[in-house]
Amino acid sequence: MAGKTEGRKQMKAWVLHEVGKLVLEEVAVPVPEPGEVLVAVKAAGICGSDIPRIYRTGAHRHPLIPGHEFSGEVVGLGKGVGAKWLGQRVGIFPLIPCRACDPCQQGQYEMCRNYGYLGSRQDGGFAEYVAVPVWNLIRLPQQVGFEEAAMLEPMAVAVHAMRRILKDREDMPGRGCFPAKEPPLKIAVCGLGTVGLLLLMFLKEAGFREIYVIGNKDFQKEMALKLGVAEEFYCDGRRQDQHQWLMAGTGGTGVDCYFECVGKSETYGQAVDGTAPAGKVVLVGNPYSDMELKKEVYWKILRNQLTVFGTWNSSFMQDGRDDWHYVLERLAQGKISPGRMISHRFSLEGLEKGLELMRDKTEDYVKVMGTFGGQAL
């Protein structure tokens, strides 16, 4: 657990005691350990993974304060933390690496074998305050708001997926600018949840134009059109045969790169089916259940010599090469506008309504955001 829990001051926090038992209660404000800071949470997004964690599967330990997409202001310092951090506006990389395993030794912290994680393994951001290792902080430029900063994590996840398959292109500089190349890549994005829409936003910003988008809800189409997708490049999977549509659009070849952002066997098969020979498939969506690979799908991977990529989390290395700085640079320059994807806002006290909305799907939503008011102690 990040930080000690004993202390005289109290705060409000949503505490998960067991599966389905999430309670807003008064708990002690955490005391930051050496190398940690105390962050007053200003905004926290609800991730799709929070829903099963709270209502179906539980967390790695209980009791736990969930929430891993959040931002805030540093209001307290643990021993050994420089005074320059006090008062800083920050975003938070939620994965706490062990620094000892082989991936960590290579700087690939997202693949750490023994990591901690704010909001699932350690107390997270559905609270007024949270203790965070100083290493996990990223300073926010003044032009970046707290709500945008609370979306840094899903944006970095989307960028990480994009860079997984584009990093080997000859025309990609180290910091991820993708100039046009002849012939331009044909790309498909299937699944327009938060990460799928953010991926689409970053692909458009990077200069890709021939992007085929597959969704299954009217509001997803509306958002895709707002992001600059032309009507003829959008397929409604409920009403159209996506394979026929994709083949017609690409002249029968399929796409060079296919991002599967759903996590179902059916859409995995469709991704393989819609990818051109020697193309690449990136599996982005968390699996809904066991994934089954049909014989004909496996044959297509072999015969078309496809490359299948997994992608997980995002890179964070405290320098300009990582996914988080890639995102922050574009936010600061006004090149992306993730705030338009926030469909619902709730106070800390009302956050459970947002969780229930996502659990029960009572309304259409894109990004559900909590706006908090943690102050300096």
Residue owning tokens 């890639």: 326
Find the domain containing 21 and state its range.
Answer: 10-143+334-371
> Do 345 and 266 share a structural domain?
no
Asked if the structure places residue 58 within a domain, the reply is yes
> Do 261 and 229 share a structural domain?
yes
> Do 361 and 237 share a structural domain?
no
Element (H, E) at 139: strand 137-139
Measured CA to CA in angstroms, residue 318 lies from 73, 92, 139, 219, 324 at distances of: 18, 12, 10, 36, 9
> Do 186 and 110 share a structural domain?
no
Asked if the structure places residue 157 within a domain, the reply is no
pLDDT at residue number 167: 60
> Do 221 and 282 share a structural domain?
yes
**205 vs 377: which has the higher pLDDT:** 205
Q: In degrees to the nearest 10, what's the CA dihedral of 156, 308, 310, 294?
A: 130
Total domains present in the chain: 2
Domain end call among 294, 310, 326 = 310
- Dist CA 162 CA 159 (whole Å): 5
Strand partners, 130: 39
Residue owning tokens 């800083």: 88
- Dist CA 279 CA 301 (whole Å): 10
Query: Residues, the chain, total?
Result: 377
What percent of the chain is modeled with pLDDT above 70? 92
On the question of pLDDT at 193 being above 90, the answer is yes
17: DSSP letter: E
88-123 pLDDT, tens digit each: 999 999 999 999 999 999 999 999 999 999 999 999
169-175 mean pLDDT:
39
Strand partners, 26: 12
> Do 339 and 300 share a structural domain?
no
Domain CATH for 71:
3.90.180.10
Sorting pLDDT into bands at 50, 70 and 90, what band is 183?
low
Asked if the structure places residue 153 within a domain, the reply is no
Q: Which of 370, 343, 374, 356 is nearest to 44 (CA)?
A: 370
> Do 296 and 175 share a structural domain?
yes
pLDDT at residue number 175: 37
> Do 46 and 122 share a structural domain?
yes
57-66 mean pLDDT:
96
> Do 57 and 97 share a structural domain?
yes
Asked if the structure places residue 115 within a domain, the reply is yes
216-266 pLDDT, tens digit each: 999 999 999 999 999 999 999 999 999 999 999 999 999 999 999 999 999
pLDDT at residue number 115: 97
pLDDT at residue number 164: 86
351-373 mean pLDDT:
95
pLDDT at residue number 166: 72
> Do 186 and 126 share a structural domain?
no
Q: In degrees to the nearest 10, what's the CA dihedral of 228, 169, 171, 324?
A: 60
User: Which residues, at least 6 apart from 106, have a Cβ–Cβ distance to it below 8 Å?
Assistant: none
Question: For the residues of 55-95, what is the DSSP string, one character each?
Answer: HTS--SSSSB----EEEEEEEEE-TT--GGGTT-EEEE--E
CA angle 221, 227, 233 (to 5 degrees): 55
pLDDT at residue number 288: 83
Q: Is 145 exposed, middle or buried (0-12, 13-18, 19+ CB in 10 A)?
A: middle
The structure tokens listed for 242 are 């996506």
Asked if the structure places residue 44 within a domain, the reply is yes
- Dist CA 229 CA 97 (whole Å): 38
pLDDT at residue number 6: 46
Asked if the structure places residue 318 within a domain, the reply is no
On the question of pLDDT at 1 being above 90, the answer is no
Domain CATH for 187:
3.40.50.720
> Do 306 and 170 share a structural domain?
yes
User: Which residues, at least 6 apart from 333, have a Cβ–Cβ distance to it below 8 Å?
Assistant: none
Residue owning tokens 């979306």: 151
Domain end call among 260, 276, 310 = 310
Q: Which of 43, 89, 25, 19 is nearest to 354 (CA)?
A: 43
> Do 303 and 173 share a structural domain?
yes
309-323 pLDDT, tens digit each: 999 999 999 888 899
Asked if the structure places residue 149 within a domain, the reply is no
Asked if the structure places residue 376 within a domain, the reply is no
Q: How many other CB atoms are found less than 10 A from the CB of residue 318?
A: 15
What percent of the chain is modeled with pLDDT above 90? 88
On the question of pLDDT at 169 being above 90, the answer is no
pLDDT at residue number 184: 72
